[in-house]
Amino acid sequence: MRSRKVVLLLSGGFDSGLAGYLLQKSGYEIIPLHLSNVDFAGEESIEKSIELAKKFKWKKFYVVDIADALQSFVDKCKHSYYFVLMKRFMLKVAGEVAKLEDAQYIGTGESLGQVSSQTLANISVIEEAAEFRVLKPLITFDKEKIINMTIEIQTFEISAGPEVCDLLGPKHPIVNANLEHTLNEEKNLQGLNIVSNSLKSLQVIDL
């Protein structure tokens, strides 16, 4: 029988916590993974993510520091592709954690079209990097519905407050990413081993 484990990319914001709740409600076991960038975003997102994980009684919590990888996207790649490259990288890191956990899925809080990286074209290019099926329970939700649901499940107060978007991102990100162009940008990262090097910072916190 296949595992029902999902490695959830948990940011501490409204969307990913709600996604984890809905997946858990559907019978999946959630393994939260927080990809931190303390250098730019501070500790608050980690603290929020841990609080969410405790609320839903998830048993363990993974943290990986990705600050160096994010800087590599800025230094080596076309800036407009930053968010697409970042999301592809996140799925690759989540895939490595899925292997450690013998999980079969990755979960995200993405909803279609809410930000530039979530256009249909970009999502298709991003998901191409995943070794595991990506579950997106919020894909058709708008922000109002998401906020209302977080109030219902009592996570609104945990996730509220200024959410630090990635400060390294471009003002005008690509919204219609092309896979061939994306792969060409990733060639600029060859030899940096950004996934394996980021995983050296892996921490597992028992909750």
Express each pLDDT in 86-126 by its tens digit.
999 999 999 999 999 999 999 999 998 766 778 999 999 99
What is the pLDDT, as a whole number, of residue 1?
45
Q: What is the CATH number of the domain that holds 185?
A: 3.40.50.620
What is the pLDDT, as a whole number, of residue 2?
55
Residue in the block written with tokens 């994306």: 182
Q: Decide if 9 contacts 44 (C-beta within 8 A).
A: no
What is the pLDDT, as a whole number, of residue 163?
61
Q: Is the pTM of this model over 0.85?
A: yes
Q: Which of 27, 1, 11, 6 is nearest to 136 (CA)?
A: 6
Tokens of 41: 């975003």
What range defines the domain where residue 16 resides?
Answer: 5-206
Report the distance separating Cα 144 and Cα 112, nearest Å.
Answer: 14
User: In total, how many domains does the chain have?
Assistant: 1
Whether the predicted pLDDT of 130 surpasses 80: yes
Mean pLDDT of the chain: 92
For residues 186-204, give the mean pLDDT.
96
Taking the CA atoms of residue 190, residue 196, residue 200 and residue 206 in that order, the dihedral angle to the nearest 10 degrees is: 140
Work out the end-to-end distance of the chain between its first and last CA atoms, rounded to an integer number of angstroms: 27
In sequence order, what E strands does the chain have? 5-9, 29-36, 60-65, 105-107, 133-135, 203-206
